[in-house]
Structure 1
Amino acid sequence: MMLDERIRLDGRQLNEVRQLAMEIDPLPTPHGSALFTRGETQSLSTVTLGTPLDELLVETAASSSYSKFYLHYNFPPFSTGETRPMRGPGRREIGHGNLAMRSLKQMIPTGDYPYTIRIISDILESNGSSSMATVCAGSLALMDAGVPVPKHVGGIAMGLITREDGKYAILSDILGDEDHLGDMDFKVTGTRDGICGVQMDIKVDGLSMDVMREALMQAKAGRLHILDAMYNCIEKAHDDVKPHAPRMVKIIIDKEFIGAVIGPGGKVIQELQKETGTTINIEEVNDKGEVSIFSNDKEGVNKALETIKGIIAVPEVGTIYEGTVKGVKEFGAFVEFLPKKEGLLHISEISWKRLETMDGVFNDGDKVQVKLIAVDPKTGKYKLSHKALEPRPEGMPERPERSERSDRPERRDRPERRDGGFRGNGDRNNRHNG
């Protein structure tokens, strides 16, 4: 019937694609999901976005590398009405998953794209070309997840029926029986503009160029038909990831600050991740530090980012900061004016009014505006002032700095000793004479 009447097992024309049905976001929890159905073949694909720490280690006998994109293809026995044990991936899962992965990888963003992408395709029903359904469902799920893929990738499986007299028929979107009983299984994936991947199994000795040309052109027509339906479902990738997907912010820091962000034994970065609920990854690239912050909580990302900016910031004398009291002593308070940077707010620098004691002035955790007035060149300690931000009371003279005071006599003006020399600090016996 296929060769003489050009009618297939299910009554379709040779180049006819089965009925299509598809939807995005059928599952609320994954970062992206899609359900693609073509005839009696159905794929439920989900996308998970991870951090660079989730990269897949790929090892061979001679090499070792990491991959930021991988796809897992599951073919449970119930998809074909079978009852058998659920075991690890076999030849079918590995081969079909690899074909879908290589096809979609052509559109995956590279370079500075920070996320590690994992696609899982679960075949819920299968009657031919489930790997091509995986490609279509995976492309839809990627756009639903907000991955900036530029184009949809679709796939179709072509078949072939031949007879001894040289007559042949090329079939589009083959059924399971047409795959099993036919002479060819020719899978073609691609976009509207070109091919992304091909795979062929044949049971005949070879194919002529005329048959190949016809098969490729018929595959193109079928692929474009499927792609049109996919674009009607979702035309382009969402502008942003889902609210529950990890957020990412990247900041470039100088190489010398990498140690300060990590801290001794990783103490600083570990505490920061715990406090903000984020995942922080630091890499040295081109003599710079690339700091990536991941979290599904936007506030946590912003808090971690501000903390890191504070760690790498260089305090400038004369700058006003919003500080937090970290400790109160009898001589003043220690104030954290930048993340991990504390300075002393001396009791004499709190107010123009003289304070006899620190009792009741500050408590731990209080917020206070301070001005950085000096940095000790030897110890690097910071000197802060709050009264410098307040207007000086009328009539109160400005106290000169120690180096500017004139009430201390210079050495050459000190009284002479009885022996004609000068009394210095070492002349303890005559310190109070004269």
Structure 2
Amino acid sequence: MKRKHSIWLSLAATPLLIAACDKDNGNMPQISAASITIENVLDSHPLVESGTFKNNGASPLIMPGESVSFQFAAAKGQALTFATMYGWSNDLFFAPTNPGIKVYQDNGTPIEGDVSSQIRLWDNGTRVNQMPGVSVSHPGTASAAQNVTEVNGTDAQGNSYAAASSLMKVNLHYEGNSTFTLTITNTSGATSNSTPFSPGVWAISYIAGGTLLNPNPLYEAGKPAANGLTNIAEMGDNSILATYLAGQTGIFTPLSPVLVVVYSGSENPIYKTGQKDQGKGLKELAQKGDASNLATYLKTVPGVRDVYVLAAQNTTVLLPKIGSQMGGSVSQSLNVAQGDRIAIATMYGFSNDWFFASKDNGTDAIQKGDISSSIGLFDNGTAINQFPGAGITQFNLSGTPLEESKTIEAVPNPNMFTTLPAIPQIIKVTLN
């Protein structure tokens, strides 16, 4: 099967033809018709990470001269956004312009140092602004404006403000392996707009096919605030927006074209845990979603009768559920006999080298029904792992995997990066 050179996640990719090879294994008595269906049933989320920040001292407020820090992971093209209240105001908040702070240069080099110039001061639009300062009364008078607008020197009532970048210093530090630390320092004490900052929220959107799934996770200029942002802007209460963001944060991953093997014997021909990758094509499947080399090899293995590589129509990859759109699905008719086994393999697309595969020695080919419980998630051990969906060296996020050489092992859950849904909530496999 010919593989496209461009990233296989592109939604405009030309459909790949289902490839199959029938291998003559001699006389196979009692051949019967069957079929296999593989579905991406993941109920996906648009945000790869989100969280909160506050002062860890006696007060959660970040006073002039104080700093807070938090860590996050990101891939090229992703951006970090956050929001925190200008405390001595009626409903002003600090946030980067959408989609957020850029953390990599176009060539993939991490950005470090002062990124304060990307921060702006915003008016939530829900309260009439009083002169900023400690005497501001809350909640204040309701405003008819209602839309979020940038405060550029003065607000709608004519009150003056120093530039956001002089009130707040924001610094990026790269920790390695796609991980950054962001530090927010309150520098307003040296200006005419001294103010505390409230506890805040932060978020990072997934990027798929070069497009952010949610480029405006916290606010949109010119539109009313939503999902709890008003609670931050008016009262410094980050709890409601944090809860909303947590519900938008989770797993998003496509599955690569699915390798299906019909075989006989006592061992799964695709892989074996506890052993290193054998250089037969599994590495290319696990790192790039390209099953062609492995399929070619398997056609030569004794006991293997049929090999298929199943690609989704229109998208090639099996996309997860996105809103009301169902996830991708592929099916294949099979000829099976007593004693035959079936095994599959497909890449966890937004990883460095994770792959879903049939556990142990596959599944009895004449079994019927849902066999999703027979599928496991494995680390191929050939690429250094990063946060799934936020790794600068992940192939399907325009990266080049960093090589390592470890044995193939099951991916723990929870793992060092995140907690995944149960495997049958990601991939469903049915035999009929």
Greater per-residue helix proportion:
1
> If the length of structure 2 is used for normalisation, what is the TM-score?
0.21
TM-score by length of structure 1 reads 0.21
> Larger C-alpha radius of gyration, 1 or 2?
1
